[in-house]
Structure 1
């Protein structure tokens, strides 16, 4: 829930966040590393594109507003398993399926949209690392379910 909340809240101020990240990456101590691994040029390109788009077509940011809202709604969905895990175990299964879906989406849509492979792999990691606590929750719910039936 926390990860979804953070993802949702941080999806609203993208241009500001990218401006701050760019200035950090351009700072003397980290700049050579950020340039060497291609992070600074990519963040600069994304920041420039977003700034230009927001200046001329601000309505396109409405799409990321809905993305942010979806993250917040999904976070609320997990209140059910928190309150009554056995009854709402389907939500955890839904989360596992969603995490699995992250990988093909990032790899396929990222390729189509010209997202560099290292960035797509970072996006895939959200599905990989997101499924770990969900699988643990499934185990705990299964144990809880078995203990209440005996």
Structure 2
């Protein structure tokens, strides 16, 4: 049971952090640009692709925040969605065998991250390398869920035999 809960803690931490960090986007991107020196690396004869993208994102977020701050209400709801999905997994924490279906639900959601990122990234003009980073969240989220699901099945089988 301890290993199942440890794996769930990893998954839930990812959901919570991913959700909560979608609220202060402007200050986070400003800090990231400052920490990486992206402004110095996005200019010159051979600008770094990631630095150009990061400073473009910074400019877009700052302008949007100044002119249309209400648009960030959408990312507030994104955070809420992440937190509510994490809350659902409390059932798996409390009784993983009875709520084993939640692991399948989570794995389906993780799998759907990939086509979602690839399709809507294309629609929104997000570079392929950025979409692959987004896809990696689905893959990384699936790892602890797969391991936990296997342990839950073993626990369920041993409980039935007893």
RMSD between superposed Cα atoms in Å: 1.7
Equivalent-residue separation in structure 1 for 2:48 and 2:41 (angstroms): 10
Task: State which of 54, 62, 67 in structure 2 corresponds to 1:43.
Answer: 54
Shift of 1:13: 0.3
CA distance in 1, matches of 2:127, 2:86: 29
8 Å CA contact retained: 2:92, 2:100: yes
* 2:27 match: 16
Superposition deviation, residue 31 in structure 1: 4.0
**Runs of at least 4 residues off by over 6 Å:** none
Gapped regions of structure 1 (runs ≥ 5): none
Residue by residue, what CA displacement relative to the aligned partner does 1:5-35 show, whole Å, maximum 9, x if unpaired? 111111110000000001112179x948xx7
SS at match of 1:127: helix
| Map of 2:120 onto structure 1 | 109
- The separation in 2 between residues aligned to 1:149 and 1:62, in whole angstroms, is 48
Structure 1 residues 99 and 23 mapped into 2: Cα distance closer, same or farther (>3 Å)?
same
Q: What are the superposed Cα offsets for residues 67-126 of structure 1, whole Å, 9 maximum, x if unpaired?
A: 011111111111111110011111111100000000001111001100011100000000
How many residue pairs align between the two structures?
147
Is the counterpart of residue 133 in structure 1 residue 120 in structure 2? no
Equivalent residues of 2:41, 2:48 under 8 A apart: no
When the two structures are superposed, what TM-score results if normalisation uses the length of structure 2?
0.86
Partner of 1:91: 102
Is 1:149 the counterpart of 2:153 in the alignment?
A: no
Return 5+ residue gaps in structure 2 as ranges.
Answer: 1-11
Distance 1:54 1:92 in 2: 37
Q: Is the alpha carbon distance of 1:27 and 1:46 closer, same or farther for their aligned partners in structure 2, counting shifts above 3 Å?
A: closer
Determine the C-alpha separation between the residues in 2 that align with 1:7 and 1:24.
Answer: 20
